[in-house]
Amino acid sequence: IPGTNGLKGLQLDGRFVCAADGSLPNTPDPQEFGSAELDRDTRQLLLDFYRTHTGMCPQDRKQHHALPTMTRVVADVLLKHETTFKGMLQRLQLESQADDMSFISFIAETMFRDDTTNWGRIVSLVAFGAVVCSRLKELQRERCVETVTQQISSYLISEQHDWLLNNKHGFVEFFHVEDVESVIRNALMAVVGCAGIGAGLAFLIR
């Protein structure tokens, strides 16, 4: 292969691996591959979802298999808790926020401050991001939608990595039922009060 100085190589998970003696590399750690796959899946799902949610043109590839479930669940959350999310958005004063959307990370950290993680809480964070993305489109700041995706996916991948890795096959199954209201309601009650998003937003705008 050109540029490898005669070394034989193997393309693994997007990385070029070569062995000096011409043999195949050692078998990679399955846990490492699982983590890499999780990272890609998380970013792809969120990007597909936020682009679809805001009506932006989809990328020229097959969309994530969990997208229909994510779309249905988040739509249900936004409908049933519209007033709550509108209140969050108004307090954020998004039109004055910088393009780096760095406040997203702070909100995410606030939502999980009590070290409790479940799918309901993760979906609540994704739904919050959806509200932000919709408002960004209204403000003609579609360029920031991908930044929101990066902020949320980076938080989940870094701070919730172990939990997601242990539950990576559970999202579609967990939200297979039509009514997930009790799960989401408990999640919102945990994060919108004085110790949750409310406190986070108050900190941002004080």
80-103 pLDDT per residue, tens: 888 888 888 888 889 999 999 998
> pLDDT tens digits for 10-37?
333 333 333 344 444 444 444 554 688 8
Residue of 150, 148, 178 whose CA lies nearest to 39: 150
0.75 exceeded by the pTM?
Answer: no
Give the DSSP per-residue string, 22-42. Answer: SSPPPPPPHHHHHHHHHHHHH
Question: Is 38 a member of any domain?
Answer: yes
Establish if 148 belongs to a structural domain. Answer: yes
Contact 79, 126 (CB under 8 A): no
Using alpha carbons only, what angle is made at residue 139 by residues 134 and 143, rounded to the nearest 5 degrees? Answer: 75
191 has pLDDT over 70: no
Confidence of residue 188 (pLDDT cuts 50, 70, 90): low
Return the pLDDT at 135.
95
For residue 1, is it within any domain?
no
Give the pLDDT confidence score for residue 119 in this predicted structure: 84
DSSP secondary-structure letter at 142?
A: G
Cβ-contact 105, 143 below 8 angstroms? no
Q: Do the domain assignments include residue 98?
A: yes
Q: Is 194 within a domain? A: yes
User: How many whole angstroms from its chain centre is CA 152?
Assistant: 4
69 inside domain:
yes
CB neighbour class for 83 (10 Å; exposed up to 12, middle 13-18, buried from 19): exposed
The mean predicted confidence, pLDDT, of the chain is 75
Question: How do residues 118-167 score in pLDDT, each as one tens digit?
Answer: 888 888 899 999 999 999 999 999 999 999 999 999 999 999 999 988 88
Specify if 171 maps to a domain. Answer: yes
> What is the residue range of 156's domain?
30-205
User: Residue 55: pLDDT above 80?
Assistant: yes
Q: Where are the alpha helices (DSSP H) in 81-114?
A: 82-92, 103-111
The confidence score (pLDDT) of residue 30 equals 46
pLDDT band at 192 (very low <50, low <70, confident <90, very high): low
Burial of 11 (0-12, 13-18, 19+ CB in 10 A): exposed
CATH of the domain at 145: 1.10.437.10
Q: Is 51 part of any domain?
A: yes
Q: Residue 190 has what pLDDT?
A: 54
Q: Report whether pLDDT(63) > 60.
A: yes
Number of domains in the chain: 1
